[in-house]
Structure 1
Amino acid sequence: MGIGEEIKQSKFNSEGSKASLNVVFTSHWIGKQHTDILKPFGITPQQFNVLRILRGQNGTPITVLGIMERMLDRMSNASRLVDKLLEKKYVQRRECPNDRRAVDIIILPKGLELLEQIDKIILNWESKFEKMGKEKLQLLNELLDEFRRSE
């Protein structure tokens, strides 16, 4: 279904306006899909993002500031997200040896196990993109990157 049908709008000010609405609508649609996938595991997409960042550190601690710099949603409160993950015992916080004012965060085995469970479902969901074909996906990525660089 096209964006016009989805939002019940037949006319747009321009193709740029239509594209803008389409990207925003699709972003929210994908976000809802991710929320629905993660809900049974008791975590939010933002908490999932933090866990994936920590897993990507391969056991190397990272500060909350370092997490914030890598987050998909830069408006998220990384400290609060880490606190929630601490409560669930998915991560550990410890004093940074180089700077006692900073705190290092590391993922725990329980967090890695959770990600393994979720990975299978996410990979299955992401396979929907592969139906578009490699060339279209590369073009989509290039166009989105180009748009963000146009500021």
Structure 2
Amino acid sequence: MILENEIGIASFRNEWQKASVSILYTYGFLSNGYESFFKRHGLTTQQYNALRILRDQYPKPVSTSVLREKMLDKMSDASRLVSRLGTKGLVKVTQNTADKRLVNILISEEGQKIIGAIDKDLHELDAMMHGLTEEEAKTLVTLLYKVRESLKTAEERVNSSDQVNAEA
């Protein structure tokens, strides 16, 4: 009954609904904590995530499609994100010589510095999960993986059903 009291709902249809609502509710807390943390460094969570990906790929340039594919938030507008990071001087964007429709994105020296400074404080983000033991955190990671796999399977069923209906 704790979740029901926290969000002001009398009851759930079943434990699956309760689990999904609990994940969404918890996501709000986690997301707000991350946003507050990165705001202190002049970034959004998505901007940090993009810089982290670019640092991991450095010195190999990355395209916006590769960046989008690796982003945690699949709804992010990678082009706009890269543009904002470029305005801040945190990335360098150049035309791809092999394909003029693509751009090459590299983290700049300034971007490397900011990421390095943030690295020193990342333990603060970890502390948000210290209500769990390390073993519980491992179990949670495993359970969330199972949830993602279930969601992928459900999405595939919906897509194949939509395709069958479109052909009928």
Quote the offset at 1:148 in angstroms: 1.2
TM-score by length of 2: 0.82
Partner SS for 1:93: strand
Quote the offset at 1:3 in angstroms: 2.4
CA deviations over 1:10-36 (Å, ceiling 9, x no partner): 422211111111000111111111111
TM-score by length of 1: 0.91
Equivalent pair of 2:96/2:102 in contact (CA under 8 Å): yes
Quote the offset at 1:105 in angstroms: 0.1
- Once superposed, which parts of structure 1, at least 4 consecutive aligned residues long, lie more than 4 Å away? none
Partner of 2:7: 7
Alignment-mate amino acid for residue 125 of structure 2: W
Which consecutive unaligned segments of at least 5 residues does structure 1 have?
none
Which consecutive unaligned segments of at least 5 residues does structure 2 have?
154-168
* Structure with greater Cα Rg: 2
Partner SS for 1:105: strand
How many residue pairs align between the two structures? Answer: 151
Partner SS for 1:121: coil
Distance in 2, Cα, partners of 1:26 & 1:113 = 31
Partner SS for 2:36: helix
Give me the CA root mean square deviation: 1.8
CA deviations over 1:57-114 (Å, ceiling 9, x no partner): 1321111111011011111110000000000000000122332321100001111111
Distance in 2, Cα, partners of 1:121 & 1:83 = 26
Partner of 2:31: 31
Alignment-mate amino acid for residue 44 of structure 2: T
Equivalent pair of 2:92/2:106 in contact (CA under 8 Å): yes
Distance in 1, Cα, partners of 2:50 & 2:139 = 28
For the structure 1 residues 128 and 30, does the alpha-carbon distance in structure 2 shift closer, same or farther, using more than 3 Å as the test?
closer
Distance in 2, Cα, partners of 1:135 & 1:123 = 18
Alignment-mate amino acid for residue 82 of structure 1: V
Partner of 2:80: 80
Equivalent pair of 2:53/2:70 in contact (CA under 8 Å): yes
